[in-house]
Amino acid sequence: MPPKTLFKSHLTSLKLLNRGKVRDLYEIDAERLLIVTTDRLSAFDVVFPDPIPGKGQILTRLSNFWFAQMADLLPNHLVALPLAEVLPDPTEREQVETRAVVVRRLTPLPVEAIVRGYLIGSGWRDYQRTGKVCGIALPAGLELADKLPEPIFTPSTKAAQGRHDENIDFARVVELLGRDLAEQVRSASLAIYAKAAEYARARGILIADTKFEFGLDRAGRLYLIDELLTPDSSRFWPADRYRPGINPPSFDKQYVRDFVEAIGWNKRPPAPRLPAEVIAQTAARYREAERRLLGE
């Protein structure tokens, strides 16, 4: 039976604070929020009109799994509160119960914490131009998708919806966060990536790169927030199809990116409609990532 699709949540019992590219954010009280992960899909920072069935539930299950796996490295924003206490109306609860989480209300940091284990995407373009990625010098002669000598922390700005993030060097992160917090974020990001990459590799997935989000509580304690190690925030490659020099297939929305590039979309709103085959193939890639990482 196919999963129910949710493009936009409608909860009247809670105050809607924001609709992001994928997530709807509601206020529970001064200390807690409700995050609903929809089936919306964005590419090139534009939200598409066609949802990907089951995507929000997969992202939620994967994030919850990874948050639990990384709890020994860093606390996360999840609050162990039954959804029925937040949404007593069964109709509202049914709408979001497989895709909603209760979280602490924290102050997000103004940077995207990105770790790269392989040379691809904007990192590859930076390397071709400068021989560096976010100010980090790399060996000469690396190929597209090459495994890096060691994972690197390559942060970016956090742009408003509809605008593009920009890669920055660590010195800029220090300016934004202060040295102690910047070093804490870098250290935590590299440790989380290393642990996740080892786990995923044993299950046939290479994590080429991934993005982390962090927030602070009132005492200044650092938390993992948002989503964690999902196909939306990471580039997952099948290990058995990887080789340097080519852009490997991936378990994420790359199928959509390839389609819209092929039809010549200018990457500005409105996004084009997606054919049924593109929707189905994209959904299959999300399901396969979950199957490999979490089992059947």
H-helix or E-strand spanning residue 68: helix 55-69
pLDDT > 70? residue 59: yes
How far are the Cα atoms of 53, 89, 92, 257 from residue 56, in angstroms, in the given order? 8, 21, 16, 19
In 83-146, where do the E strands start and end?
100-104, 107-108, 111-118, 132-133, 136-137
Read off the pLDDT band of 179 (50, 70, 90): very high
How buried is residue 132: exposed, middle or buried, by Cβ count under 10 Å (0-12/13-18/19+)? middle
* Assigned CATH topology for domain 15-105: Phosphorylase Kinase; domain 1 (3.30.200)
Read off the pLDDT band of 259 (50, 70, 90): very high
Across the range 92-113, mean pLDDT stands at: 97
pLDDT tens sequence across 153-168: 999 987 665 566 788 9
pLDDT > 60? residue 1: no
pLDDT value for 279: 96
pTM of the model: 0.95
Residue ranges of the domains in the chain? Answer: 15-105, 108-251
What SS3 state is found at 237? Answer: strand
* For the chain, percent of residues with pLDDT exceeding 90: 92
Across the range 28-47, mean pLDDT stands at: 96
Domain 108-251: CATH superfamily is ATP-grasp fold, B domain (3.30.470.20)
pLDDT tens sequence across 205-233: 999 999 999 999 999 999 999 999 999 99
